[in-house]
Amino acid sequence: MDFASVEKRIKGKKALVGIMGMGYVGLPLVRTFGHAGFATLGYDIDNEKIKLLNAGKSYIKHIPSTMVAELVKKHGFKATSDPKQLSKPDVLIICVPTPLSKMRDPDMSYVESTARTIASVLREGQLVVLESTTYPGTTTELVKPILEATGLKAGRDFYLAYSPEREDPGRTDFSTETIPKVVGANDPRSKALAVALYGHAISKVVPVDSCEIAEAAKIVENVYRCVNIAMVNELKMVFDKMGIDVWEVINAAKTKPFGFQAFYPGPGLGGHCIPIDPFYLTWKAREFGETTRFIELAGEINTAMPDYVINRLIHALNDHGKAVKGAKVLVLGLAYKKDVDDLRESPSIDLIEKLRELGAKVDYNDPHIPKTHKGREHDLGLTSVPLTAANLKKYDVALIATDHTAYDYDLIVKNSKLVVDSRNACGNVKAPAGRVVKA
């Protein structure tokens, strides 16, 4: 299929859009393109996900099953785990994980294997877009050579672009459709097709002059957040020594109408972006003989926060005449942020594992995560315990790790022997002296 034919299919919404990876990025994209009028094909290697999706069922909290059922019945959505089906879409969008290795180097195995899967069925006229967050140069240096090994050439026989995902699970003020979409490509035809595609589904498209610029833009967004969160985490520890409440400080500072944006401390970084993405740039910078001292320092501070919280909990227990070894601890909140069911890189997992290593008996409650599942690196083997007054009384300490809106903090404070609060969730709750310790 020649360029003009592909362009006509995209502009006429006749193109079949294939999305590879049916997770927190891929499934919202299915919804976005489906509602924009495109037929979509979802691809994933997890057969259980495929069965659920084709039955009109969701496994992600903020994507309801009613919406998946509507996509299947009214918008031509199908899901498959058969790579041979990937020759059918006019567009293939890659939404797969980009984690770090144990040595904190980029693990590109998911992107590489997905590119090889595409290469096995790649045909003329297809547009391939990488959305996974990664280091500048990935699309050109990793994905493009794999695809061109087929004998087809990017920009001539097939088209290649990069457009970073900007998902933020749990947000209600923005959605995939309303978050501006950065799109970059290294040849004019690929760029034109990618801009036309996303222009049908996203309210605003931001074209840039290369894949590398688009890749770097996403990294900058997350470096900005990582560094600023590290700053307030450090200030929290400093102000604690001074007897100053960092949350009150931030709330006072943010009343300035310019020159300040509020970031808040916590028990550590979580999610699929901020704990990981800045280190992609650190890794890539070494290739050019450069160091990223801000990023590395921010990483040190943020990864140390679970230890700080544990230390505060140990001292709080000690003040109540209790050792951490043998103590019964209830961790409140397993998700990495409030009101989501997303466990990726959650500091709560580190907190639970560190407490177990110290000899504590640990349970958790999370209204959004009824039980834990085996992940790439962790297998807690726990089930959420009911959050009742009677249950709270059984534990030596309740550790608030995630400040879910569903929690009744008055109930928690009233019925707990001790509360260690890493999110300032109990800031407005009246409590007996020494009952609530901020961490």
Torsion of CA 36, 92, 143, 94, to 10 degrees: 60
H helical segments located in 75-179 = 109-119, 138, 144-148
Q: What number of other Cβ atoms are within 10 A of residue 210's Cβ?
A: 17
Of the candidates 111, 109, 107, 91, the residue with the CA atom closest to the CA atom of residue 99 = 107
Of the candidates 127, 147, 120, 108, the residue with the CA atom closest to the CA atom of residue 187 = 127
Phi then psi for residue 177, to 5 deg, are -70, -30
What gap in Å lies between CA 132 and CA 38, rounded to an integer? 22
H helical segments located in 243-383 = 246-253, 277-287, 293-319, 347-357
How far, rounded to the nearest angstrom, does the alpha carbon of residue 265 sit from its chain's CA centroid? 18
From 95, 211, 226, 273, the catalytic residue: 273
Phi then psi for residue 128, to 5 deg, are -110, 130
What gap in Å lies between CA 264 and CA 194, rounded to an integer? 36
What gap in Å lies between CA 25 and CA 220, rounded to an integer? 19
95 catalytic, yes or no?
no
Please list, in sequence order, all residues whose beta carbon lies within 8 angstroms of the beta carbon of residue 357, skipping any fewer than 6 positions away.
Answer: none
- Is 179 buried (19+), middle (13-18) or exposed (0-12) by CB count in 10 A? middle
Phi then psi for residue 271, to 5 deg, are 95, 180
Q: What residues act catalytically? A: 273
